[in-house]
Amino acid sequence: LQKSLNEIFGADKYSRARKEVLTYMFSRPMQMALYFCTGVVEDETLFRHYALNVPFYTHFTSPIRRYADIIVHRLLSASLGASSPIKMEKEDIQRQAEHCNDRKMASKRVQELSGDLFFSIFVRVRD
């Protein structure tokens, strides 16, 4: 998609803005990744990462931004034997994952509504 957009738009002063708007519009409806505890999910096809085309995937990033990342780091560390096991039942981990998903969706919705509001004001001012 990005390659196609780069080829279509020229070099005029508005091409970058048009490309950014279209990229945003195309990516907005894409399904968001969800956190879940593998111990409560039986369907291993849900572990797959479609875009990376790998059968098993775990989101792994710096744990300074999100609580879910802290949990992933702790679980990975325990599974590699680098730290003691986490004293949480898999159902508790799943509840934490669902809470993180709820907060992530709420944040995304606020971001989208904020963008819509800004665009509405921008259009109104230009009249």
List the domain range (segments joined by +) for residue 26: 1-30
Q: Mark whether 46 and 18 lie in a shared domain.
A: no
Cβ atoms within 10 Å, residue 71: 19
DSSP character at residue 64:
T
Q: Are 104 and 36 within 8 A, CB to CB?
A: no
Q: Mark whether 68 and 122 lie in a shared domain.
A: yes
Handedness of CA 115, 121, 123, 126 (dihedral sign): negative
The CA-based dihedral angle spanning residues 49, 55, 85, 97, taken in that order and rounded to the nearest 10 degrees: 30
Sequential pLDDT tens for the chain (127 residues) = 667 766 777 777 777 777 777 777 776 666 677 888 888 988 888 888 877 788 888 877 777 778 888 888 898 899 999 999 989 999 999 999 999 999 989 988 898 899 889 888 888 887 6
Q: Mark whether 48 and 87 lie in a shared domain.
A: yes
pTM over 0.85: no
Q: Mark whether 80 and 121 lie in a shared domain.
A: yes
